[in-house]
Structure 1
Amino acid sequence: MAARKRTTAPTADTVSIHDACLKYMTTEQGLRLALSHVRPDDFDTVKAVSEADLEAIASYFQPKLPEVASNTLELPETLETSPQEAPEPASEQSQNALSLPQQERHLTAPTQSPIPNAQLTLIDQLARQASEEIAAVDAIAQVKNQLILNNLAVRDAELAEGINQHWQHQKQGYLGAIRDLASLAKEPVAITPDTTDLPAEVDQIIAELAKKLIA
């Protein structure tokens, strides 16, 4: 587990970050960047620093290039007004000349804070994350809507199929009942035609009988 960073609060023996920025006429980012060299554990959260810490980072906020240039311009005049001083050897002068760019780079390096770029990158990352999160939430909502519509369509189809199956079964029952009733019908009976003329037959029989009686 990572150790908790110290966050020193302002006391009577310390100087707040705001007052330290006013003292060195710099921004809070620049001051904290300089503090990272002497307080690497809590430079980004500390609220107040001691005078010793301020003295340790004072060199990062002193004038750099103009002061160096003035020293280089005043050097020949000093040599002319003080002939008693022996001139420095050529090797030492070359070393001093070579060390000036290094000192300049060393003094200017702490003031080149990457924090603004980091802030822009952080803002870009947060904006991209927010847009991607919105797109993901919208995609989830779209998928849920499609699932709801799909489930409704499937449910409607299932109900329609259930009604259809029930009607098919019921219809087969009706057809079976109709067939059973139709099977009860009997075959038609052929009626023999009546060709006998009853009155004529009676008259003929009586006539024959009358003939027999007269005789």
Structure 2
Amino acid sequence: MAARKRTTAPTADTVSIHDACLRYMTTEQSLRLALSHVRPDDFDTVKAVSEADLEAIASHFQPQLPETSPQQTSEPAPEQSQNALSLPQQQQHLTSATQSPIPNAQLTLIDQLARQASEEIAAVDAIAQVKNQLILNNLAVRDAELAEGINQHWQHQKQGYLGAIRDLAGLAQQKPEITPDETDLTQEIEGIITELGKKLIV
């Protein structure tokens, strides 16, 4: 059965992996690679190491000085000095490279959330405006429908009134023509008596 890996947490007698990296000015990957020589079971998961472990791997991070003559011991080789100085610079550059995206990512996330909130507010406002327009439109259509209904009812009622008026007018009788009376009754009577008198024998 495979041995269970230890994940030692930092204590008062141990040093965290982060602090150990700062002490040797190296990356966590390089530090764990060096720990693999002294802690092969948990070098990749351990969270803190003892001072003894750090002393055991210290040689992995100390620059090797070349053998020089007595006259040259006072002046370090330019390449060695450059290498010694480049390690902190590399560590600083690595730290900056690993930390710099975090604020940018946070700013991008904040900008994205702000833009999303702004667009959501605009969308909700647009929905409210459309609803208001639909309400006003429905009211206008309803008013027009009521007005047209009243108009149609009046048109029908008006035709009924006109029909009733026409029917009543049709009941009116035409005045007959008066035959003129051209006979003079008195004159006719006298004429008849005169004729009668002529026929009588007295």
What TM-score, normalized to structure 1? Answer: 0.56
Query: 1:171-210 alignment to 2 at 5 Å?
Result: 171-184=151-164, 185-186=166-167, 187=170, 189-192=173-176, 205=185, 207-208=186-187
**Quick one: structure 1 residues 75 and 15, their matched pair in 2 at CA, closer, same or farther if it must change by over 3 Å?**
farther
One-letter identity of the residue aligned with 1:163 = D
SS where residue 49 of structure 2 aligns? strand
Cα contact 1:16–1:49 (8 A) shared by 2 = yes
One-letter identity of the residue aligned with 1:208 = Q
Partner of residue 134 from structure 2, selected from 151, 154, 162: 154
Cα deviation 1:100-143 (Å, max 9, x = unaligned): 969x8599658722122221111111111211221121111111
Task: Give 1:134's aligned residue.
Answer: 114
**Quick one: structure 1 residues 211 and 119, their matched pair in 2 at CA, closer, same or farther if it must change by over 3 Å?**
same
- Whole-angstrom CA distance in 2 between matches of 1:149 and 1:139: 15
- Whole-angstrom CA distance in 2 between matches of 1:10 and 1:127: 35
SS where residue 41 of structure 1 aligns? coil
Q: Do structure 1's residue 112 and structure 2's residue 87 form an aligned pair?
A: no
Task: Give 2:49's aligned residue.
Answer: 49
Task: Give 1:82's aligned residue.
Answer: none
What TM-score, normalized to structure 2? Answer: 0.59
**Quick one: structure 1 residues 175 and 150, their matched pair in 2 at CA, closer, same or farther if it must change by over 3 Å?**
same
Task: Give 2:14's aligned residue.
Answer: 15
- Whole-angstrom CA distance in 2 between matches of 1:53 and 1:195: 154
- Whole-angstrom CA distance in 2 between matches of 1:53 and 1:7: 13
Q: Alignment RMSD, CA only?
A: 4.4
Cα contact 2:15–2:51 (8 A) shared by 1 = no
Cα deviation 1:186-211 (Å, max 9, x = unaligned): 33654457696xxxx7xx54x43774
Q: Tell me the percent identity.
A: 17
Gaps of 5+ in 1: 78-96
Cα contact 2:26–2:87 (8 A) shared by 1 = no
**Quick one: structure 1 residues 166 and 40, their matched pair in 2 at CA, closer, same or farther if it must change by over 3 Å?**
same
Cα contact 1:17–1:28 (8 A) shared by 2 = no
SS where residue 72 of structure 1 aligns? coil
Cα contact 1:17–1:49 (8 A) shared by 2 = yes
